[in-house]
């Protein structure tokens, strides 16, 4: 009986409390304040499509939000505040100074948008424009843009991989600095981009088979091209803040040989096997071959003394990339304990308006580890810090410098005794390859082989 009575009592108390709460809720309806709506987050990034520009950095209130090299996308500024934000673009000089490039750009923020500041034109006459799309979307929106500086109008086709252009309709027609509106496409892995002159079906560029993502925003941007072959441009895919080249694009790869093998009058260079004639026969000491254009992919490199096709002095597997050039540097003595060593290094044929590029390669087996100096007139190794410290055989490092005249010097690492140089070099716009080398018979004298690269 006591249990029953307590249970009934608690039921009564609970019912009274519930009625009180309901009444309180009813009485407050008129005075209730809805929570403040929260603006959807937006993100702003830059696309650096200026062909002669250095890496560019997005800043807001003097705070950096990521940098973008040519053909790349920066990190992003995020905001949940609607309205606009004032932003600037800066770059670093060769001596590390931050320099304003574009100031007081008014950029929309908030409201769930994905904004790109597209930078085109040239470094001397830059153009900025905005690409402004919803950030969160379940559909796939595709856009096409062009930043190519040749003034050429083109038709852009996005079709199934095996569709004939004779029956296809262009997805966009673009002029320089043009941007199409967004169009919805279904996701898939069997698409293909082909680009022609307006009204023509003769293909200027072929992406090969590509994939489209499942949702969001995907931009295909034509950018200036500096690789092997005669294509006037290439295409990069931009999605979720990442720019990437199209892996199947129909662009050639290229390779050349720089021969600094000692105690060997000349060498032959083969791909894959030595049954056929060498691709580069009789390369003498200190010689650069011309570039050889070929299909991208994996290759086996074989090097022999001239005319001795079964005497391999260097072998290496290498993967050549579409749209990129490579140099094979060979150094060392076939008769030494270490033999002939080599490195395949990427070449950069894009000139930059704010700096020159000195590409240093260590190609002397006998010199040992060295420090490399790029000295202005009047400077000495006693007073300056090396530009490259402790470089060993096959080291490959780029040193950016301003236009001017310099002395190149190498010393044994940690010492100030001059091993090679001074070699006087006056540099203008361009790219220079500097190889530390030795005599044809090995050892001293150690010298710099300087080559101004053609940017044609």
Indicate whether 262 and 163 sit together in one domain. no
Where among 245, 274, 294 does a domain terminate?
A: 245
Q: Per-residue pLDDT for 211 more than 60?
A: yes
Residue 163 Cα distances to 103, 182, 183, 204, angstroms: 46, 22, 19, 16
Range of the domain at 178: 42-245
Indicate whether 178 and 226 sit together in one domain. yes
Q: How wide is the angle at C-alpha 53 spanned by C-alphas 387 and 251, nearest 5°? A: 100
In the prediction, which pLDDT does 133 show? 93
Q: Which residue has the higher pLDDT, 55 or 34?
A: 55
Lowest mean pLDDT across 273-282, 326-335, 407-416, 437-446: 273-282
Identify whether 2 is part of a domain.
Answer: no
pTM comes to 0.83
Using CA of residue 49, residue 50, residue 52, residue 57, what is the dihedral sign? negative
Residue given tokens 């400077």 in the structure block? 379
Q: Per-residue pLDDT for 71 more than 80?
A: yes
Helix, strand, coil percentages (3-state) for the chain, rounded to 5, are: 5, 50, 40
Identify whether 36 is part of a domain.
Answer: no
Indicate whether 161 and 278 sit together in one domain. no
Indicate whether 378 and 330 sit together in one domain. no
In the prediction, which pLDDT does 37 show? 42
Residue 426 Cα distances to 31, 65, 407, 423, 433, angstroms: 79, 36, 9, 10, 13
Where among 229, 245, 261 does a domain terminate?
A: 245
Q: How confident is the model at residue 35 (pLDDT cuts 50, 70, 90)?
A: very low
Q: How confident is the model at residue 75 (pLDDT cuts 50, 70, 90)?
A: very high
Mean pLDDT of the region 124-128: 95
Helix (H), strand (E) at residue 13: helix 2-28
Q: How many CB atoms lie within 10 A of CB 387?
A: 20
Query: Could you check whether the bond before residue 445 is cis, i.e. omega within 30 degrees of 0?
Result: yes
Q: Per-residue pLDDT for 146 more than 60?
A: yes
Indicate whether 325 and 398 sit together in one domain. no
pLDDT tens track for 245-267: 998 898 999 999 999 999 999 99
In the prediction, which pLDDT does 455 show? 57
Q: Per-residue pLDDT for 295 more than 60?
A: yes
Mean pLDDT of the region 274-292: 94
Identify whether 8 is part of a domain.
Answer: no
CA distance 97 to 447: 33
In the prediction, which pLDDT does 23 show? 41
Question: DSSP secondary-structure letter at 454?
Answer: P
pLDDT tens track for 5-32: 333 333 443 344 333 433 444 444 444 4
Residues 6+ apart with CB under 8 A from 124: 353
Indicate whether 54 and 177 sit together in one domain. yes
Lowest mean pLDDT across 6-10, 179-183, 225-229, 352-356: 6-10
In the prediction, which pLDDT does 437 show? 97
Indicate whether 81 and 204 sit together in one domain. yes
Single out the residue of 267, 311, 317 nearest to residue 287, CA to CA: 267
Residue given tokens 């250095």 in the structure block? 54
Mean pLDDT of the region 26-48: 63
Single out the residue of 105, 135, 109 nearest to residue 118, CA to CA: 105
| Cβ atoms of residues 105 and 118 within 8 Å | no
pLDDT tens track for 385-434: 999 999 999 999 999 998 899 999 999 999 999 999 999 999 887 789 99
Identify whether 450 is part of a domain.
Answer: yes
Identify whether 298 is part of a domain.
Answer: yes
In the prediction, which pLDDT does 1 show? 36
Beta-carbon-side half-sphere exposure of residue 84 (alpha carbons within 13 Å): 7
For the chain, the domain total comes to 3
Helix/strand/coil for 326:
strand
Indicate whether 178 and 50 sit together in one domain. yes
Transcribe 341-406 into DSSP letters: EEEEEE-----BTTBEEEEEEE--SSS-SEEEEEEETT--TTTS--SEEEE-TT-EEEEEE-SEEE
Q: How confident is the model at residue 120 (pLDDT cuts 50, 70, 90)?
A: very high
Indicate whether 65 and 166 sit together in one domain. yes
In the prediction, which pLDDT does 456 show? 56
Identify whether 21 is part of a domain.
Answer: no
In the prediction, which pLDDT does 454 show? 66
Indicate whether 111 and 216 sit together in one domain. yes
Q: Which residue has the higher pLDDT, 136 or 248?
A: 248
Identify whether 46 is part of a domain.
Answer: yes
pLDDT tens track for 311-358: 999 999 999 999 999 999 999 999 999 999 999 999 988 889 998 889
CA distance 228 to 255: 9
Where among 245, 274, 300 does a domain terminate?
A: 245
Mean pLDDT for all residues in the chain: 89
Q: How confident is the model at residue 272 (pLDDT cuts 50, 70, 90)?
A: confident
Provide the CATH number for the domain around residue 368: 2.60.40.2890
Q: Per-residue pLDDT for 224 more than 60?
A: yes
Q: How many CB atoms lie within 10 A of CB 234?
A: 24
Indicate whether 413 and 335 sit together in one domain. no
Residue given tokens 């570039």 in the structure block? 291
Q: Which structure tokens are listed for 184?
A: 């919805």
Q: What residues pair up with 424 in beta bridges, in sequence order? A: 407
Identify whether 206 is part of a domain.
Answer: yes
Indicate whether 67 and 156 sit together in one domain. yes
Helix/strand/coil for 66:
strand
Q: Which structure tokens are listed for 156?
A: 């852009």
Provide the CATH number for the domain around residue 340: 2.60.40
């Amino acid at each position: 009986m006591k249990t029953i009575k307590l249970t009934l009592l608690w039921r009564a108390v609970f019912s009274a409390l519930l009625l009180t709460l309901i009444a309180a809720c009813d009485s407050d309806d008129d005075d209730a304040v809805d929570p403040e709506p929260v603006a959807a987050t937006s993100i702003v990034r830059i696309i650096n499509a200026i062909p002669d520009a250095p890496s560019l950095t997005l800043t807001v209130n003097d705070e950096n939000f990521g940098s973008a090299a040519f053909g790349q996308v920066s990190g992003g500024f995020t905001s949940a505040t609607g309205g606009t934000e004032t932003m600037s673009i800066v770059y670093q000089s060769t001596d590390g100074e931050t320099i304003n490039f574009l100031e007081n750009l008014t950029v929309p923020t908030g409201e769930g948008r994905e904004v790109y500041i597209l930078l085109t034109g040239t470094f001397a006459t830059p153009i900025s424009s905005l690409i402004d799309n919803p950030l969160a979307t379940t559909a796939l929106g595709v856009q096409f843009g062009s930043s190519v500086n040749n003034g050429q109008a083109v038709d852009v086709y996005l079709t199934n991989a095996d569709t004939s252009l004779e029956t296809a309709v262009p997805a966009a027609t673009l002029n320089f600095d043009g941007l199409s509106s967004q169009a919805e496409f279904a996701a898939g892995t069997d698409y293909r981009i082909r680009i022609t002159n307006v009204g023509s079906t003769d293909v200027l560029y072929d992406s090969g088979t590509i994939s489209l993502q499942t949702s969001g925003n995907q931009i295909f941007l034509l950018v200036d091209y500096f690789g092997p072959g005669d294509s006037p441009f290439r295409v990069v895919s931009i999605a979720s803040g990442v720019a990437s080249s199209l892996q199947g694009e129909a662009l050639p790869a290229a390779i050349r040989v720089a021969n600094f093998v000692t105690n060997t009058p000349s060498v032959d260079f083969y791909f894959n096997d030595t049954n056929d004639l060498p691709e580069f026969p009789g390369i003498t000491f200190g010689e650069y071959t011309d570039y050889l254009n070929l299909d991208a992919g994996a290759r086996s490199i074989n090097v022999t003394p001239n005319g001795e096709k079964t005497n391999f002095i260097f072998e290496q597997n290498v993967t050549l990339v579409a749209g990129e050039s490579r140099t094979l540097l060979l150094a060392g003595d076939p008769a030494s304990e270490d033999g002939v060593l080599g490195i395949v290094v990427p070449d950069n044929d894009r000139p930059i308006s704010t700096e020159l590029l000195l590409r240093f390669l260590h190609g002397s087996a006998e010199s040992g580890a060295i420090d490399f100096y790029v000295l202005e007139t009047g400077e000495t190794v006693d007073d300056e810090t090396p530009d490259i410290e402790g470089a060993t055989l096959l080291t490959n490092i780029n040193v950016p410098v301003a236009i001017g005249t310099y002395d190149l010097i190498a010393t044994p690492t940690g010492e100030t005794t001059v091993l090679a140089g001074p070699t006087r070099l006056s540099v203008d716009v361009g790219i220079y390859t500097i190889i530390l080398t030795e005599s044809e018979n090995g050892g001293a004298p150690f010298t710099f082989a300087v080559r101004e690269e053609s940017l044609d």
